[in-house]
Chains A and B, each alone.
Chain A
Amino acid sequence: MTTRDTDWDGVRLHVVTGKGGTGKTTVSAALALALARAGRRVLLIEVEGRQGIARLFDCPPLPYEERKVALGLGAHGGEGGDVYALAVDPEGALLDYMEMFYNMRRAGRTLSRLGVVDFATTIAPGLADVLVTGKATEATRRRVGGRTSGHLYHAVVMDAPPTGRISRFLDVSTEISGLAKVGPVKTHADTVAKVIRSPQTVVHFVTTLEEMPVQETLDGIAELHELTQGAIRPGGIIINMARPAVLDAADLAAAASGTLDVAELVVGLKAAGISDNHGLAAELMTELREHALQVAQQNRERDEVLTAGLPHYELPMIPDGIDLAGLYQLAAKLREQGAA
């Protein structure tokens, strides 16, 4: 590791949100790989019961147990640290909570069997949220040994619910205080909130350069600020699946407006041994025009999302689909840009 600080030094809980389809889980995983420098241990948490992490890392479904899934991204050809993963569900989190705070694991099982957890999380989703975020903050605070020892995890990355739900999900103590003014759950929620509202925690927003994800990102950032009066800190904007422009701005503008000369292309194609039979060049021009329009839209949406004034990172579309190699590529991009 170099001495250069990353943008998020001091942050230990990275919450990653984004609209469905923007690649939130992929980006969370890449961020965990990037954070896991040599000698560091990073925990990647999934909260929506989709087993997306297991699929990404090509391993069997994750149990409610912290399990090593990958080596982090190394530096200069060296090995990285360790990435652990955990799939949290409210049920498991409740059992954990009851055992940890009340030593009541058996009672917890009874509640589970009776369907109390399922029930409670249906009529009061805030309860499920506090259990799940509680597990993430507990892992964040966990130490190797006694109070003065180091943290077990250098950082925790949470693949969180989508943008539309993130503020409520994180604003646990407000959610809970609607239900319970005092009592153990309220106390627990306050402890969780203290971590989430500290400078140790930031919320990163994943978006693609499309209208709706960008709009949701801006709405999500505004809502987070409004709902928590700035107490929960937005992190960075991670632009995912950006398609690079193939030509410079002037050529693209000409292509979009249809003023680029087809004859130029015909000459080039001929030099490459491709004859312009039946208007092949014109067809390629149509394709180029579509590309130019897409790039223009991307640029508009990028300008729009950057009005939020947050640090931003850009990840390219991985053309062959996301596999482990693709994840490391994305992790390297995140690290290059200072995100980790």
Chain B
Amino acid sequence: MSAVKLDMDRIIDDRRTRIIVCCGSGGVGKTTAAAAIGLRAAERGRQACVLTVDPARRLAQSMGLTSLDNTPRPVDGVDISGGGSLHAMMLDMKRTFDEIVEAHADPDRAAQILANPFYQSLSSSFAGTQEYMAMEKLGQLRHADEWDLIVVDTPPSRSALDFLDAPERLGRFLDGRLIRLLTVPARAGMSYMKVLNAGFSMMTSALTKILGAQVLKDAQTFVSAFDTMFGGFRERAEWTYRLLQAPGTAFLVVAAPEPDALREASYFVERLDAERMPLAGLILNRVHVSPAARLSAARSLAAAETLDMAAAETPDLRDGPDGSGPRYDLAAAVLRMHAERMNLGKRERRLAEHFTSAHPAIPVAEVVAQPEDVHDLDGLRVIGTILSQQSP
């Protein structure tokens, strides 16, 4: 591929890099990439913290993330001879949300919000909230300023864009016309009758009909309680958003060489550009290459057929002196396997080229597919090394 190579070590070693965000669609290896980058940064002297949302169990265990306690914990087994350190934490979405509420509302109000059924539904559901809380936690960690590099992997959304939209989505509701309508009764007591208009009365009667009066009342209570801390919410969301736009942030889009993942990556790249978020490059994960690439798929397949034909013509090929004979079957199988790998690699390169020709200026790092899943620090080191040694 003729794309610009991503210089990972330059990003890691640049002390001005304070946040690295690994994003991409689900199942492409974001968590592994984030952990590998964090580990490499720590071993190159950075005070690194990895914020992860949904790690594989064994990978989490290897980093000492056995409990979900919402606080960064030191990772054992890291080479700290260069003066660096590595902490890691797993996001506890509900706890993060509870903490924001407690920080922004007086105790009575906070208790009221925490007990509200709508709050409970919102704070423990996965859709949207997780993205928002990941950004919130990132903001908190950055604000604490205990680490000079935070590496975050975004939640496993179906769409890579969700995490950018989530804070804005929540903000829009808290700021919207609807919320003002809903909060009118709570604010103005009985006098709200005066502000009723046709649309509103239709809405409330429809809502009452579908939801029942109690549900509507709960929703109103929730919304008006939330309203008081809305200013704080918005401020934080905006702060985090600006943080992501700042030059100290580097976005890495992670994708597997598959049509869906690369399509998402393309959208994401364009979106980051539109939001003026600093994109550092694309990590193309799990690329298949062959150590015997000089033997083409076509030639390999033809050779396998030659062997098949030879075996069919002389069925006693294997009756050698010790009953074994030449292993033509072995060679044929290996040749077929090789042809398949070559074809897979070719298809992947083709897909990657779709991306690179549309986005020629974006640096790319390729990570070859590992035969086994990564679940220890050594495995992460291998990925970190591959990421950093992208020979031109």
Binding site for B on A (CB under 8 A): 19-22, 48, 50, 97-98, 102, 104, 107-108, 110-111, 114-116, 118-126, 128, 162, 164-165, 168, 175, 178-186, 210-213, 215, 246-247, 251, 260, 264-265, 267-269, 271-274, 280, 283-291, 293-294, 297, 319-321
With a CB–CB cut-off of 8 A, which chain B residues contact A290?
371
Name the one of B125, B158, B179, B261 contacting A126, with C-beta atoms under 8 angstroms: B125
Selecting from B67-75, B100-108, B134-142, B328-336, the interface stretch reads B328-336
A181 touching B214, Cβ below 8 Å:
yes
What are 29 A-B residue pairs whose CB atoms fall within 8 Å in the complex? Answer: A20-B156, A21-B26, A108-B206, A115-B176, A122-B122, A123-B219, A123-B222, A125-B122, A126-B125, A168-B125, A178-B120, A183-B212, A210-B373, A211-B373, A265-B334, A267-B326, A267-B327, A268-B330, A269-B335, A271-B306, A271-B328, A272-B310, A280-B292, A283-B292, A284-B335, A284-B338, A287-B337, A293-B371, A297-B372
Q: Answer whether A212 and B330 are a contact pair too, CB < 8 Å, given A98-B210, A111-B203, A274-B303.
A: no
Name the one of B56, B173, B203, B333 contacting A122, with C-beta atoms under 8 angstroms: B173
Complex CA–CA separation, A118 to B373 (angstroms): 39
Name the one of A19, A21, A251 contacting B261, with C-beta atoms under 8 angstroms: A21
B306 touching A272, Cβ below 8 Å:
yes
Complex CA–CA separation, A180 to B117 (angstroms): 9
| A-B interface, 10 closest residue pairs, ranked by CB to CB distance from nearest | A21-B27, A268-B331, A20-B26, A183-B212, A272-B303, A283-B292, A293-B371, A125-B125, A107-B206, A212-B56
Using CB atoms, name the residue of chain B closest to A288: B334
B292 touching A21, Cβ below 8 Å:
no
B335 touching A165, Cβ below 8 Å:
no
For chain B, the count of residues having a C-beta within 8 Å of the partner chain is 80
Q: Shortest beta-carbon distance, B3 to chain A, in Å? A: 22
Is B28 an interface position by the 8 A CB rule? Answer: yes
Name the one of A19, A124, A269, A291 contacting B121, with C-beta atoms under 8 angstroms: A124
Complex CA–CA separation, A182 to B304 (angstroms): 70
Is B388 an interface position by the 8 A CB rule? Answer: no
A246 touching B372, Cβ below 8 Å:
no
Is B231 an interface position by the 8 A CB rule? Answer: no
Q: Answer whether A179 and B215 are a contact pair too, CB < 8 Å, given A111-B206, A212-B56, A274-B295.
A: yes
A162 touching B303, Cβ below 8 Å:
no
With a CB–CB cut-off of 8 A, which chain A residues contact B207?
111, 116
With a CB–CB cut-off of 8 A, which chain B residues contact A186?
212
Name the one of B156, B177, B291 contacting A287, with C-beta atoms under 8 angstroms: B291
Give the one of B213, B307, B336 with max A CB within 10 A: B307
Give the one of B121, B178, B219, B375 with max A CB within 10 A: B121
Q: Answer whether A125 and B338 are a contact pair too, CB < 8 Å, given A102-B209, A182-B212, A297-B373.
A: no
With a CB–CB cut-off of 8 A, which chain A residues contact B373?
210-212, 297
